[in-house]
C-alpha cells in the first residue's frame, strides 16, 4: 500500500473584539455559533462564490485559530489585512 505524503498545514490566530463577526462574514461556516473548545470546517469564498481556501476554525475564549493549507496562510493574511501587493485571489 502506498501512502500519500502529508499536506503541510498552517495556522492563523485571530484576536480582537470583532474576530467572530469578521470571520463569520468571510466564510461559509457559522462562526458565531462556535463555543470555546468547539471547531468546524468552513470555506473562504470570493464574493461570486469561488472557493479560495478550505479552513478549520477552532474557538477559544479569547481567540479563533484558523487552520488551512500552509501555502494559503500568507495569502489569507494579505487579503484579511487588506494588503494589495499579495492579495490576488487567483493564486
Q: pLDDT digit string (tens) for 67-77?
A: 999 999 999 99
pTM: 0.81
Q: What pLDDT digit, counting tens, does each position of 2-40 carry?
A: 888 888 999 999 999 999 999 999 999 999 999 999 999
pLDDT, residue 85, reads: 53
Burial of 27 (0-12, 13-18, 19+ CB in 10 A): buried
Residues 6+ apart with CB under 8 A from 73: 10, 11, 12
Amino acid at each position: 500500500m502506498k501512502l500519500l505524503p502529508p499536506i503541510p498545514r498552517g495556522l492563523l490566530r485571530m484576536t480582537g473584539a470583532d474576530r467572530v463577526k469578521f470571520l463569520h462574514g468571510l466564510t461559509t461556516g457559522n462562526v458565531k455559533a462556535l463555543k470555546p473548545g468547539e471547531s468546524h470546517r468552513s470555506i473562504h469564498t470570493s464574493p461570486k462564490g469561488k472557493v479560495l481556501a478550505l479552513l478549520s476554525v477552532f474557538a477559544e475564549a479569547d481567540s479563533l485559530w484558523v487552520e488551512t493549507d500552509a501555502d494559503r496562510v500568507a495569502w489569507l493574511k494579505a487579503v484579511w489585512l487588506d494588503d494589495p501587493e499579495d492579495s490576488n485571489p487567483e493564486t
